[in-house]
Each structure stands twice: as structure tokens, then as C-alpha cells.
Amino acid sequence: MAARRPQAEGRARRVLVIDCDVHQGNGTADCLAGDSSVFTFSIHAEKNFPFRKIPGNLDIGLPNGTGDDIYLETLEEALSRIFAMFNADLAIYLAGADPYHGDRLGYLSLTKEGLTQRDRLVLGMCRAEGLPVAVAMAGGYAPNVEDIVAIHLQTVKIAREFAS
């Protein structure tokens, strides 16, 4: 409910949720269904939990093994469409580590470099729109916990670059 506090405090009227976890953002979509002040976007592995998807404003389910290039192209196109139709005051970016190919649930097969490019793409496009971003770490089920830490740390470093 991170969208509600800035709204209640008058710091944001319209909030965009950019959910890049490998799982569809069903909880967010369910909580915010019918609320036109929050736009929920999820890009996820279609054949992954939850098996019953709850529709958000824009959901893109990708096939297993999608890989970096198609994922990044699809993400960029979706964000361009969203920015053209929804004028947000704040973005909440869920930066999932679980699309990583080394993750037990990383069915999208993204590389660490692909996840780095994803973070730069999301944060760069938001910056170009003049849109402040709150970043939340999400997902991460790699057998090697160092992979999860490295992915999340890279997200934090990139967010710091864009904050200055």
C-alpha cells in the first residue's frame, strides 16, 4: 500500500506501479482494482505462480525462456505506452531478482546484464518523464544467495546514479 501514503499526504495524486518481478502482480492488482488513481503494470512469466491471474491495468505475460532482448524491448514498448496514457506523479518500481536465469523461478532467463539494463531502462525512462521513483526489491530464489545479493545491490547502485 505504498501508493496510499504519498496520496494521503498530498505528495502524489496518481501513482504508477511498475512490477518487474517474475510473478504477476496479482496482490497489487487485486488491492487497487477499480482505482483510477493508480496504474498497475506487471511484466512477468505467464506460466508461473499465481496460476489464476488477477488483471491489473496492463499485464504482459511472457513465455518461459524469453531472454534479455525480447524482455527489454517489450518493457520499453509497454512503458512508452503507459507514459503516453497515464500521467503519474510517482512511480513505484518493484525490481525483482527472480527473472534471473540462475533463479529457481527465473523462467524468463534474464542474465545479470539484462537485469542491469532493465533497471537502467525503467529508471531512465522515469527520469525522462520527470517522474520520481520509489524502488522496492522483489523476488529472489536463486540457490546461490550471492547472486540475489549482487542483483539487488546492482539495482541500488543504479538507483543511486539516477537519484543524483
- Report domain extents, the chain: 19-85+100-146
Query: What's the pLDDT score for residue 35?
Result: 93
What per-residue confidence (pLDDT) applies to 45? 95
Beta bridge mates, 96 = 138
Residues 6+ apart with CB under 8 A from 24: 42, 44, 48, 50, 53, 54, 59, 61
**Rounded to an integer, what distance in angstroms lies between the CA atom of residue 159 and that of residue 138?**
15
pLDDT of residue 30: 87
Contacts of 116 (CB under 8 A, 6+ apart): 154, 158
Positions of the chain with pLDDT lower than 50, given as ranges: none
Q: Residue 49's pLDDT is what?
A: 79
pLDDT tens-digit readout, 56-68:
999 999 999 999 9
